[in-house]
Amino acid sequence: MTDDIAPDITALLGRWRDGDRGAENELFDAIYPALRGIASKQLNGQHDLTLNPTELAHETYARLSRNASIDYQDRGHFFAVAARAARHFIVDYLRSRGSDKRGSGMPFVALDEVADELPDYRIDLSVDWLAVHAALSELERRDEHSARIVELKFFSGLTTEEIADAVGISRATVVRDWRFAKAWLAGKLRNER
């Protein structure tokens, strides 16, 4: 995980789940810089959006805080849920702007921009957020583990090392699963064009 995250986040999550309001405030202070950083990475270069990183971070946290009953097993689980909350907020935001149709002014994200660590397998494919969301939902039905890797990398902007730590798997497994997921998504998104 990022250096901005308190090492006792799992304990804070447990206290928060048990209703400790002080833990909720401590948790917010501990994770907000990371949520803001994730939001900033996601919105970098998205000039067509009126959404800003602060708003995305706040909305993501708001969605998380409404679900305090979730039994977060650890930081990795929490950030996987945070990635999903950010993903769904962005999709809801785009849909509310009437962006459900292709070519309606929605921002484009280059899938290969998040794969700097895999220079041997780069693709030149720009896709829209809603297309990525739909393809990722299909991948999730087929291979939930690979879809989680994509969420953590693409929607949270975590590095391979951070994902390995969060999910509790080796770096090599993250690289292999990311490579598979990226190839699968690229094929799916190419077919959608």
For 52-93, the pLDDT digits (tens) are 888 888 888 888 888 766 777 777 778 788 888 887 887 788
Q: Does residue 180 surpass a pLDDT of 90? A: yes
Count of structural domains, the chain? 1
Task: Let me know if residue 69 belongs to a domain.
Answer: yes
d(CA 169, CA 165): 7
Q: Which domain holds residue 175?
A: 9-192
What confidence score (pLDDT) does residue 121 get? 30
Task: Let me know if residue 23 belongs to a domain.
Answer: yes
- pTM for the predicted model, two decimal places: 0.63
Q: What is the mean pLDDT of the chain?
A: 75
Q: Does residue 23 surpass a pLDDT of 60? A: yes
Query: Judging by beta carbons within 10 Å of its beta carbon (0-12, 13-18, 19+), is residue 66 exposed, middle or buried?
Result: exposed
3-class secondary structure, 109 = strand
Angle between helix axes 75-96 and 21-43 (nearest 10 degrees) is 60
Task: Let me know if residue 3 belongs to a domain.
Answer: no
Task: Let me know if residue 48 belongs to a domain.
Answer: yes
What confidence score (pLDDT) does residue 190 get? 80
Task: Let me know if residue 1 belongs to a domain.
Answer: no
The number of beta carbons lying within 10 Å of the beta carbon of residue 188 is 17
Task: Let me know if residue 2 belongs to a domain.
Answer: no
The tokens of 51 are what?
A: 């959404």
How far, CA to CA in Å, does 19 sit from each of 15, 79, 82, 133, 156? 7, 20, 19, 33, 27
